[in-house]
């Protein structure tokens, strides 16, 4: 084989490898999406103004306890980065509800493990692992499950000790000392639950007295 032919074959080999690498990078990048903005702890904005919700993740609504921290955490993880999005469903708002990955890091899991967002029981990859991480965060009082957002006593004004609780169906009830279950009930500020100083104040906010209070009246 002539020297010219050898050089030509080497050139063609290098060219072929270069083309394959380019095609691989192009194909890989086409699967990635740029995170334009982080809207809150469980929702991002990508190119073309598309909103994507993190599947299984339930972060506090804006203005509630922990909402700022959860949003800042998500931004620190994927803000202005290229991520892989694997849609699971489309919600009633037209958003993709998806698993999000930064390289091999499963972002949905990272947020839940931090405690700054809860797990809403949706079927997602690594469900059992994520569920355990969620339970561990609750037990250890991480993030929204700590004393900042989950309280048994009012740290700001102990005399305002009426507990406003929101049920799973949105029912709002309140408890006060002397009501059954009062001692073990918690005020979860990240859900929008509140402390009140009077029954009237609780009622104006849309809460009704718990049946556990029977005919008792709150004494300030």
Q: What is the pLDDT of residues 31-88, one digit of tens each?
A: 899 999 999 999 999 999 999 999 999 999 999 999 999 999 999 999 999 999 999 9
Residues whose CB falls within 8 Å of the CB of residue 164, separated by 6 or more in sequence, listed in order: 172, 173, 174, 187, 193, 194, 195, 196, 202, 205, 207
Q: pTM of the entire structure?
A: 0.81
Do 41 and 116 belong to one domain?
yes
Q: Residues 85, 181: one domain?
A: no
Confidence of residue 29 (pLDDT cuts 50, 70, 90): very low
Could you say which of 145, 165, 190 is where a domain stops? 145
Residue bearing tokens 């909402």: 67
Where among 145, 165, 185 does a domain terminate? 145
Residues 171 and 205 occupy one common structural domain? yes
Q: Residue 112 has what pLDDT?
A: 98
Do 59 and 140 share a domain, yes or no?
yes
Report yes or no on 219 lying in a domain: no
Among 112, 128, 145, the domain-final residue is 145
Could you give the CA distance from residue 198 to residue 173 in angstroms, rounded to a whole number?
A: 13
Kindly tell me the sign of the dihedral angle through the C-alpha atoms of 64, 69, 71, 74: negative
Residue 193 in domain:
yes
Examine the domain organization and report whether 110 and 127 are in the same domain.
yes
pLDDT on residue 1: 58
What the block records as the tokens of 220 is 């300030």
Where residue 9 falls among pLDDT bands split at 50, 70, 90? Answer: low
At 218 the pLDDT is 74
173 and 108 part of one domain: no
Query: Of 187, 178, 159, whose CA–CA distance to 64 is shortest?
Result: 187
Query: How many domains are contained in the chain?
Result: 2
Residue 17 falls inside a structural domain: no
Find the CATH number of the domain harbouring 92. Answer: 2.40.50.90
Structural domain boundaries enclosing 159:
151-213
The answer to the question of residue 20 being in a domain is no
Please, what's the b/e burial string for 175-196 (b: 16 or more CB within 10 A of its CB; e: otherwise)? bbeebeebeebebbbbbebbbb
- Are residues 133 and 48 located together in one domain of the fold? yes
DSSP 3-state assignment of 194? strand
């Amino acid at each position: 084989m002539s020297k010219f032919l050898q050089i030509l074959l080497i050139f063609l080999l290098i060219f072929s490898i270069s083309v394959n690498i380019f095609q691989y990078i192009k194909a890989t990048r086409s699967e990635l999406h740029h995170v334009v903005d982080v809207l809150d702890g469980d929702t991002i904005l990508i190119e073309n103004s598309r909103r994507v919700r993190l599947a299984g993740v339930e972060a506090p609504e804006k203005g509630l306890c922990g909402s700022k921290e959860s949003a800042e955490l998500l931004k620190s993880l994927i803000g202005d980065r290229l991520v892989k999005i694997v849609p699971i469903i489309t919600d009633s708002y037209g958003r993709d509800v998806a698993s999000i990955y930064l390289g091999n890091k499963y972002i949905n899991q990272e947020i839940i493990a931090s405690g700054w967002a809860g797990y809403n029981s949706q079927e997602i990859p690594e469900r059992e692992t994520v569920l355990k991480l969620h339970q561990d965060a609750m037990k250890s009082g991480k993030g929204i499950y700590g004393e900042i957002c989950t309280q048994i006593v009012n740290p700001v004004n102990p005399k305002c000790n009426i507990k406003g609780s929101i049920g799973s169906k949105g029912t709002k009830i309140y408890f006060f000392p002397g009501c059954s279950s009062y001692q073990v009930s918690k005020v979860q500020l990240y859900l929008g639950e509140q402390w009140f100083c009077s029954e009237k104040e609780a009622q104006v906010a849309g809460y009704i007295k718990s049946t556990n209070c029977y005919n008792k009246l709150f004494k300030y």
